[in-house]
Amino acid sequence: MTTVAGENKVDVLKRFLKDYEREVLLKMNPVKLVVVAFQENSQDTGVVNLLRTQVQFLEKEYPGFSFSVLERQEKFSRGLGLTAGLNSCFDTDLILILDVDISFTAKAFAE
């Protein structure tokens, strides 16, 4: 699960989604991706539009995997984002919270 906000995160989000595809999807790890996207104003659409496009692509390329984008129409709040993301999970889910600013590899799941 990750939270993301603002136009300045578009490039970071692209890198995160490429890492996710390479390190999780291509290795067939059964993981559900939940992204909480904040749109603070009507001009702040780059992140949400990118997420919609990328998730549609990933859903076509990797059927059977779970992708969820939760959109929030408010100022970014990490706490609200984490709460929204956690509320979309089951009590029995094992949750790994990732920051889109941090690169990761599949080794993070193995440790």
| The pLDDT value given to residue 6 | 67
95: left (phi over 0), alpha (psi -120 to 50) or beta: beta
Residue 90 has pLDDT above 80, yes or no: yes
Q: What is the per-residue pLDDT across 27-82, written as a single tens digit (0 to 9) for each?
A: 887 789 999 988 888 777 888 888 889 999 999 999 989 999 999 999 889 999 99
DSSP 72: E
Tell me the CB-side half-sphere exposure of residue 45, using CA atoms within 13 A.
Answer: 4
Q: What are phi and psi of 33, to 5 degrees?
A: -100, 125
Query: What span, in angstroms and rounded, lies between the C-alpha atoms of 4 and 48?
Result: 9
| The pLDDT value given to residue 40 | 84
Q: What is the per-residue pLDDT across 67-88, written as a single tens digit (0 to 9) for each?
A: 999 999 998 899 999 999 999 9
